[in-house]
Structure 1
């Protein structure tokens, strides 16, 4: 089975390049680009995964004998999983207003 992650990365950048996330904390409104947020979250999950395997909370089969860092490829997998999760949540729980903005119900 060919690895199509690189194609999926390119498609996600093409589709979501201009996408912004809007949120509000108290009276302050914020607008941030979505792709860097997803990459940052994927990186933090990847770090947590490495910490967890270091302390043997869980191990991959290749880490049973000796610990090593989880591969960088997992970072891309976490990114794609986060993107898919966000799209599915918006599709199921979201609705679009007249300007094309998504909001949760």
Structure 2
């Protein structure tokens, strides 16, 4: 089985990727700004799911997370760099006035 490194694993798409990988028998290094959020998202987490603090805007935290994953599993096969945020805006004008 593969070893996955997933950023933003505590919610949204990152949580779904993590859940699917685990369901298929893969091991996942699950990162989030707060690793306890990962543990709350997976209360019955298997042994193959280490949760690691990693804010993707802090390179040293990402380096530490990768090193922790390598120390645990010896390799990383797949990276799902999912963490981030989005900005959106809605027009207040009706479609006919845009």
TM-score, normalised via structure 1 length: 0.23
**Larger helix proportion, structure 1 or 2?**
1
TM-score, normalised by the number of residues in structure 2? 0.24
- Which has the higher relative contact order, 1 or 2, with Cα contacts under 8 A spaced 6 or more apart? 2
> Which protein is bigger by CA-based radius of gyration?
1
